[in-house]
Amino acid sequence: MEGHSDDDDEYRRKAKIAVVAMVVLASIAVFALFLAFAYYCYIRRKVFMRRNAQKAEDANLCEKSDFANLQVVAEKGVKVFTFKQLHSATGGFSKSNVIGHGGFGLVYRGVLSDGRKVAIKFMDQAGKQGEEEFKVEVELLSRLHSPYLLALLGYCSDNNHKLLVYEFMANGGLQEHLYPVSNSIVMPVQLDWETRLSIALDAAKGLEYLHEHVSPPVIHRDFKSSNILLDRKFHAKVSDFGLAKLGPDRAGGHVSTRVLGTQGYVAPEYALTGHLTTK
């Protein structure tokens, strides 16, 4: 009987240990679930706050790029044109002078009163994004000066008319030569490898200037063949800065933003994370 009693005591002791172990494990599991839920809520809140901050930034873009500030660019070599001047330069915005089009609007060939050939981009009045791009381009290009970037010569903000005036690039966009279409305005040219490498090098120098020689650096966000323009001698210049964003001040840093750009040309890591880096 005494041996049997010892067995019962041992059994009860092991049962108590098992119960205590189950309680401890259950407590740990509940605590782990609580931590996971708290972390999930934290991430959700962080994402929500980041989205709200981005929306606020986009909403304030017009204020940050106020036209009172744009008047200063005239001192930096960017001229303010009247609508009448540009209307005259393009022959009344004749269809025969249309040399391109995009999300912003139509691009016209024009000749200024001093005889200079120019490209005039006419903002589509129905596009809010176009108005934001207009202001971003004027602000950025008024302070960016490189032989590898398309030069902004001036702009017009006359009532509801918003136009940008650029140097004229006789051979249009690189895309027109890589992927010729029957109704192309520019006569496509079969590019040899030496010319292709030269164009690639010019475009790379444009990006190098934006990333390495400007502080804070500028990230283009829409770098593609149609935004690489070619002059008469096929020297290349990077254009279209409407989606550009200021990059991180420090090396290795990043800026969180909504993913913008053209499908097929966006870096995969940017598309997945929304983090911009100069790399």
When the pLDDT of each residue in the chain is averaged and rounded to a whole number, the result is: 81
Catalytic (active site) residue 222: yes
**121 marked among binding-site residues:** yes
Q: Which residue has the higher pLDDT, 265 or 62?
A: 265
Condensed to tens digits (0 to 9), the pLDDT of residues 143-201 reads 889 999 999 999 998 877 889 999 999 999 999 999 988 777 778 899 999 999 999 99
Condensed to tens digits (0 to 9), the pLDDT of residues 110-146 reads 999 999 999 999 987 655 566 777 888 888 888 889 9
CATH topology of domain 76-168: Phosphorylase Kinase; domain 1 (3.30.200)
Q: Which candidate in 7, 222, 231, 249 is catalytic?
A: 222
SS3 string of the chain? CHHHHHHHHHHHHHHHHHHHHHHHHHHHHHHHHHHHHHHHHHHHHHHHHHHHHHHHHHHCHHHHCCHHHHHHHHHHCCEECCHHHHHHHCCCCCHHHEEEECCCEEEEEEECCCCCEEEEEEECCCCHHHHHHHHHHHHHHCCCCCCCECCEEEEEEECCEEEEEEECCCCCEHHHHHCCCCCCCCCCCCCCHHHHHHHHHHHHHHHHHHHHCCCCCEECCCCCHHHEEECCCCCEEECCCCCCEECCCCCCCCEECCCCCCCCCCCHHHHHHCEECCC
Condensed to tens digits (0 to 9), the pLDDT of residues 188-239 reads 899 999 999 999 999 999 999 999 998 888 988 889 999 999 999 999 999 9
> Domain locations in the chain?
1-59, 76-168, 171-279
Domain 171-279 sits in CATH at 1.10.510.10
